[in-house]
Amino acid sequence: MSKQVEGIRRMLLILNKLRQIRKYIPKTELVNYVNDKMTGYYGYNSISNRTIERDICDIGELFGIYIKFDRSQQGYYIEENVGSYEERVSELMMNFDLINSIEKDTNLSSFVLAEHHRPLYSKWLISLVEAIKNTNPVDFSYVDYRNGNRINRYHVYPHYLKESNQRWYLLAFDGNKMKTFGIDRIRSLQVIRNESFVRNLDINVVELFKDCYGIWNDVNIPVEDVELRYDALDGCFIKSAPIHHSQRIITDNDVEFRISLRLRITNDFIMELLSRSRSVEVIKPKSLRERIKSIYKEAFLRNS
């Protein structure tokens, strides 16, 4: 088993323990917990306090979840000002593409029923985690779906992995510009292990995506106030799984479920609205209402 897989397993265990407690965890307790799982369940050798500290640094660099040690409390804790902790941990721990890739030698698939439409090229995840951790550039070919499946070649500096709508994305610098690449469209990935780059530590990833739905955050698209109306049935689902962190409930009764949002109106957001076209009504802005109406008209003509 590779060292990369072993390290990811430790990181998952650390986050799982912190998720259970959500308060200060003594260093000895955390090390003992990870060692018990790694030696008793996976058959690895015991690790030291220093290894745990390196893993905690890697969790911050790779996934934007920052774990600090409070000397007065003598314990580790999650830094609260880094955004939605639950969302970040859920993305990491519940995404079956990553978990299945590092648990494929266990019986996980016998009791976890994952969807089967996961990306074909998720095999690049482990190599990309290694490249991000070791600050190695990567080369790859990339399929551009929007331009006739044209193949482009890239040499980039990988910084983050982000999951959205059952797909993984790489956030990397192409020269001085950060770009987003769908991992399912990456081909012939090569990690340049004999080169390294200086990681940009000034990026606030939480701020980067806070106003967008999904992965695309085009700063040229304005942030707008949106109001939506659904029937009571769809409202139950939207209340239990909010569309966006800005979601606020305006009306919730047996007749209607009405919410407000504040975000950029991207194509990803439009697709989310269409997924509940049975009952959704756009109250505002008018431009979004007209856009949805146009899509419905075109769909009606195609299917009439």
Residues 60-74: pLDDT tens digits? 877 777 888 888 888
List the CATH code of the domain at 124-204. 2.30.30
Q: Looking at the whole model, is its pTM more than 0.75?
A: no
pLDDT tens-place string over residues 211-238: 988 777 778 899 999 999 999 999 999 9
User: Which CB contacts under 8 angstroms, 24+ apart, belong to 206-211?
Assistant: 206/64, 206/82, 206/83, 206/84, 209/162, 210/83, 210/245, 211/262, 211/263, 211/264
Q: Distance between CA 216 and CA 209 in Å, rounded?
A: 8
Question: CA 226: distance to chain centroid?
Answer: 24
Q: What's domain 3-94's architecture?
A: Orthogonal Bundle (1.10)
Quote the tokens at residue 198: 């200086």
Distance separating alpha carbons of residues 55 and 36, to the nearest angstrom = 16
Q: Are 142 and 156 a contacting pair, CB within 8 Å?
A: no
Answer yes or no: are the C-beta atoms of 77 and 148 closer than 8 Å.
Answer: no
Q: What is the model's pLDDT at position 237?
A: 93
- Contact call for residues 282 and 292 (beta carbons, < 8 A): yes
Tokens matching residue 192? 């340049």
Closest among 270, 83, 44 to 162, alpha carbons compared: 83
**Overall size of the chain counted in residues:** 304
pLDDT for residue 106:
47
pLDDT band per the 50, 70, 90 thresholds, residue 107: very low
Name residues whose C-beta falls within 8 Å of residue 227's C-beta, 6 or more positions apart in sequence: 250, 258, 259, 260, 261, 282, 283, 284
Residues 93, 112: Cα–Cα separation, whole Å: 13
CB 255 within 8 A of CB 279: no
pLDDT digits (tens, 9 = 90+) for 169-216: 899 999 888 888 988 899 999 999 999 999 887 877 777 788 988 777
The residue-averaged pLDDT of 36-44 equals 77
Number of Cβ atoms within 10 Å of the Cβ of 271:
12
Count of C-beta atoms within a 10 Å radius of residue 164: 17
User: For residue 16, how many other CB atoms are within 10 A of its CB?
Assistant: 15
- Summarised one tens digit per residue, pLDDT across range 260-295 is 999 999 988 999 999 999 999 999 999 999 999 999
Judge whether 167 and 119 are in contact, CB under 8 Å.
yes
Return the bridge partners of 176, or none: none
Contacts for 249 with CB less than 8 Å, ≥ 6 apart: 239, 257, 258, 259
Instruction: Name the burial class of residue 162, with classes exposed (0-12), middle (13-18) and buried (19+) by CB atoms within 10 angstroms of its CB.
Output: buried
